[in-house]
Structure 1
Amino acid sequence: MHISFLIHNSFGFGGTIRATTNLANALVEQHDVEIVSVYRHRDSPAFPVHPHIRLRHLVDLRKGTPGYEGDLPESRRPAAVFPRNETQYPHYSRLTDQRIAQYLSTLTSDVIVGTRPGLNAHICLQAKRGPLRVGQEHLTFRNHARSLRLSLRRLYPQLDMLTTTTLADANTYRRRMMLPGVRIEAFPNPVPAPRSAPSGDREKVVVAAGRLVPSKRYDLLIRAFDRVRSVRPDWSLRIFGPGIAGGHGLQLQRLIEERGMEKHAFLMGAVAPLESEWLKAGLAASASDHESFGMTIVEAMRCGVPVVSTDCPLGPREIISDGVDGRLVPMGNEKALAQNLLELINSDELRQRMAEAARAASARYEPALVADRFADTCAQLTGRHGPSGTLRTVLHQTRGSVIGAAYGIKDAVKQRLN
């Protein structure tokens, strides 16, 4: 199959970019794969892309280069296709409307995959008939504003398949969205095994990773680790992720300094790939208030690092078996987070047992396994619809008529979304 991914910016950092790259790298072993990035702001992608993948961009934001397009008049006009209630709307414009439409009108792929709601909307509205239309949701249903859910309910019936990263979220979409004829499946984010073997001697370090944003609750983790270091001053905390120079990063640095933790807690900045840091870590921690999946949890486990995580919706509880390959603690509970970290820090035997269990359990996220199931599902759908775009057009028109009729019952729609 020829599979195309449409992504916001494949040259940056972030969980969606890592997940898309990992899946594409696995699929290209058996299929023809391309990644189409709406934006390009740097010369090389942050995450390694398989040399057989065609990586292209639609809008060049590299200032000082001959191809720079950030000052074109169309780039200053608001987008008409990308949904206004999507969080990335300020980054989209009439220029992206035009470029994405041009790309989708010439599409020759068997499968086109959108990687966020706004791009899924473009696929629903602008993709030519014929290719299988797949919309990925890397955020949870409840992460979306109610107005966006209403917009997507009108658009997503034009998809052939909608995918989520967790079973819980897939079930939510099945219950809360009226999408007759659209297959809804959960595909976890694929995470490769480490290229190097874990070191026999781990450092006395707790590692956390992700963007420095309030929802990751690094403030809670820092306060919890303040309790840890008062008992075990030989251990330290390293937080990896972009955003040190931003407002929240500065707040976290001030918190570290206010508590006199400069020798025990460190904001390390963005590092990609992070594998070498996981392989050195003794423990990992996640204090998030919500996770659509929890990719860094799987990355740590694949490197043989047990994770102490808050039991937040939705991902951690589907990844970690509490007490077997990691620990789940109540959200926002600083004391419980510190106690569980200390229990594993104080027991080399328990930590090692959980590390081995984490490495074994996380093998289910091997990219080849996820890619095979994704490709098999796409093949089933393309086989069911047949090679003719005419049949798919009829199905979409029929599906649209059903949804149009359903929208006459506005009160029922509002009640289901409350």
Structure 2
Amino acid sequence: MKISFLLHHAYGVGGTIRTVFNLAGALADRHDVEIASVFRYREWTKFHLGPEIRLTPLTDMRVGGDAERPLHSRPARSYPASDGRYVQHSRLTENRIKAWLAHTDADVVIGTRPGLNVLLARFAPQHVVRIGQEHLTHNSYRFALRTQLRHCYPQLDALVTVTEADAEIYRQHMPRVRVTAIPNSVPAPTVELSSGTAPLVVAAGRLVPGKRFDQLVDAFAGVVSERPDWRLQIYGDGPERNTIQARIDHHALNDHVKLMGTHTPMDAQWASASLAAVSSSGESFGMTIVEAMRCGLPVISTNCPLGPAEIIHHGSDGLLIPVNDPTAMAQALLSLINDNQARRQMAHAARDNARCFDPHHISARYEALFTELLHARSAARQGWGRRLSAARTEVIFVLTERLFRALNRS
């Protein structure tokens, strides 16, 4: 079958880009796969994309490209204004998306963020199986966006979340939507796995408030007081860098805690450590958890909503601790730092348990969903009932969009 992904842009290093590339690569072993990137910002993608996958940029934002066209200065009308990426869209970008959808010969099209899922639901031709992916969480969206999704998502054939917990929330709020949970995929590491002997803890992620790296630094101060031979490296960048560095300075930990900047891929960095730590107050999934486990690291993570508890088996391949509790983090780290045997056992379990996130296992679950939805296509489903439902959706969307924009102007 032919499968197409509709992606905001394919040229960065975000988690959505990475997981779409992983899934596309696994599906391309057996299917014709395309990634349509709404925006193009540079010549080459940051992540490797195999030659068997066709990359189709819809607008070129490089110098001398589509950014200079008059339509790009006009605000979008169909892309929902409540989506966080709305300001990057224009009449030009939404026209390009609509044209691509109108002419696609794909059997299945997968949208990868709410605004794109809305356009997919509203404008994809009837022969296309429409699947929306949610890489964030229902409760992280503003009320205005959740309202519009509730009216548009029933036009999708299925909605895929990355955790069962989030899927259940969508089922409660959108009972007319077919919702299934399929986690993100993470390929096997390309380096030798961790030996588990280095006195090093690694953490990674955007340096933003929700990751609570400041609390991880506080916790590590407690670790160093007992085990000054251990170090912490934090990979990533973002607006909280100075705040985190201030915490390091406050605890006089500059010899023990380092901010390492962004590094992609992270396999070698994970494998150089013996433990991984996650201090977030919320996670939509937990890609770094799976990456670390695949490299042979037990993970100590906050039991935050929604992802970690669906990945970590507490006491087997890692530890789950309360959110916003640096003391609990320090105690959990020390419990494995001081117990070499327990650390080795958890490392072995982490390697084994994380194999279920291999792209080929995850792609098989998607293939089963594609096949089921394609078989479900029938004259009745494509007939007047669906068309009337789509017409009703259009009326509701237009009215709510006008309301939200009016409220924003007031």
* TM-score range for the pair, normalised by the shorter chain length: over 0.9
Please point out which of 184, 198, 212 is paired with 1:217: 212
Residues 249, 69 of structure 1: alpha-carbon distance in 2 compared, 3 angstrom cutoff? farther
Correspondence list, 1:378-389, <5 A: 378-386=370-378
| Distance apart, 1:143 and its partner CA | 0.9
Are the equivalent residues in 2 in contact too, given 1:129–1:393 (CA < 8 A)?
Answer: no
Please point out which of 396, 411, 418 is paired with 2:386: 396
Are the equivalent residues in 2 in contact too, given 1:8–1:38 (CA < 8 A)?
Answer: yes
Are the equivalent residues in 1 in contact too, given 2:194–2:274 (CA < 8 A)?
Answer: no
| Distance apart, 1:332 and its partner CA | 0.3
* C-alpha distance after superposition, 1:21-62 (max 9, x if no partner): 111110000111011111122222222112200112112223
1:168 aligns with 2:165: yes
Structure 1 distance, partners of 2:313, 2:257, is: 28
Are the equivalent residues in 2 in contact too, given 1:6–1:38 (CA < 8 A)?
Answer: yes
Structure 1 distance, partners of 2:194, 2:315, is: 23
Following TM superposition, the consecutive aligned residue runs of length 4 or more in structure 1 with deviations greater than 4 angstroms are 398-407
Structure 2 distance, partners of 1:304, 1:30, is: 30
Structure 2 distance, partners of 1:200, 1:150, is: 50
- Amino acid aligned to 1:287: S
Partner residue in 1 for 2:402: none
How many positions carry a matched residue from both structures? 398
| Distance apart, 1:132 and its partner CA | 0.2
Q: Partner of 2:240: helix, strand, or coil?
A: helix
Are the equivalent residues in 2 in contact too, given 1:202–1:282 (CA < 8 A)?
Answer: yes
Partner residue in 1 for 2:407: none
- Amino acid aligned to 2:317: D
Q: Partner of 2:167: helix, strand, or coil?
A: helix
- Amino acid aligned to 2:208: V
Are the equivalent residues in 2 in contact too, given 1:218–1:252 (CA < 8 A)?
Answer: yes
Please point out which of 79, 95, 101 is paired with 2:98: 101
Structure 2 distance, partners of 1:406, 1:5, is: 26
| Distance apart, 1:202 and its partner CA | 4.0
Partner residue in 2 for 1:146: 143
- Amino acid aligned to 1:95: L
Are the equivalent residues in 1 in contact too, given 2:195–2:271 (CA < 8 A)?
Answer: no
Structure 1 distance, partners of 2:46, 2:341, is: 37
- Amino acid aligned to 2:215: L
Residues 27, 266 of structure 1: alpha-carbon distance in 2 compared, 3 angstrom cutoff? same
Correspondence list, 1:219-298, <5 A: 219-243=214-238, 247-298=239-290
Are the equivalent residues in 1 in contact too, given 2:195–2:274 (CA < 8 A)?
Answer: no
Correspondence list, 1:307-346, <5 A: 307-346=299-338
Q: What are structure 2's unaligned runs of at least 5 residues?
A: 398-410
Structure 1 distance, partners of 2:194, 2:105, is: 46
Residues 28, 357 of structure 1: alpha-carbon distance in 2 compared, 3 angstrom cutoff? same
Residues 72, 269 of structure 1: alpha-carbon distance in 2 compared, 3 angstrom cutoff? farther
Partner residue in 1 for 2:183: 188
| Distance apart, 1:122 and its partner CA | 1.0
Residues 395, 184 of structure 1: alpha-carbon distance in 2 compared, 3 angstrom cutoff? farther
Are the equivalent residues in 2 in contact too, given 1:86–1:117 (CA < 8 A)?
Answer: yes
Are the equivalent residues in 1 in contact too, given 2:196–2:344 (CA < 8 A)?
Answer: no
Q: What are structure 1's unaligned runs of at least 5 residues?
A: 408-418
Structure 2 distance, partners of 1:258, 1:95, is: 50
| Distance apart, 1:316 and its partner CA | 0.3
| Distance apart, 1:221 and its partner CA | 0.8
| Distance apart, 1:393 and its partner CA | 4.8
- Amino acid aligned to 1:88: R
Partner residue in 1 for 2:49: 49
| Distance apart, 1:196 and its partner CA | 2.7
Structure 1 distance, partners of 2:313, 2:91, is: 47
User: Quick check: 192-201 or 225-234, which moved more?
Assistant: 192-201
| Distance apart, 1:174 and its partner CA | 1.0
Partner residue in 1 for 2:401: none
- Amino acid aligned to 1:299: E
Residues 404, 72 of structure 1: alpha-carbon distance in 2 compared, 3 angstrom cutoff? closer
- Amino acid aligned to 2:302: T
* C-alpha distance after superposition, 1:352-379 (max 9, x if no partner): 1100011111111111011011011111
User: Quick check: 284-293 or 49-58, which moved more?
Assistant: 49-58
Q: Partner of 2:23: helix, strand, or coil?
A: helix
- Amino acid aligned to 2:14: G
RMSD: 2.1
Residues 45, 340 of structure 1: alpha-carbon distance in 2 compared, 3 angstrom cutoff? same
Residues 161, 395 of structure 1: alpha-carbon distance in 2 compared, 3 angstrom cutoff? farther
- Amino acid aligned to 2:84: T
Are the equivalent residues in 2 in contact too, given 1:153–1:178 (CA < 8 A)?
Answer: no
Structure 1 distance, partners of 2:81, 2:192, is: 47
Q: Partner of 1:8: helix, strand, or coil?
A: strand
Are the equivalent residues in 2 in contact too, given 1:78–1:92 (CA < 8 A)?
Answer: yes
Residues 228, 90 of structure 1: alpha-carbon distance in 2 compared, 3 angstrom cutoff? same
1:121 aligns with 2:111: no
Identical aligned residues as a percent:
45
Structure 2 distance, partners of 1:133, 1:393, is: 16
Structure 1 distance, partners of 2:169, 2:336, is: 34
Residues 106, 406 of structure 1: alpha-carbon distance in 2 compared, 3 angstrom cutoff? closer
Q: Partner of 1:70: helix, strand, or coil?
A: helix
Partner residue in 2 for 1:372: 364
Are the equivalent residues in 1 in contact too, given 2:207–2:240 (CA < 8 A)?
Answer: yes
| Distance apart, 1:70 and its partner CA | 2.5
Residues 338, 90 of structure 1: alpha-carbon distance in 2 compared, 3 angstrom cutoff? same
Residues 319, 199 of structure 1: alpha-carbon distance in 2 compared, 3 angstrom cutoff? closer
| Distance apart, 1:396 and its partner CA | 2.2
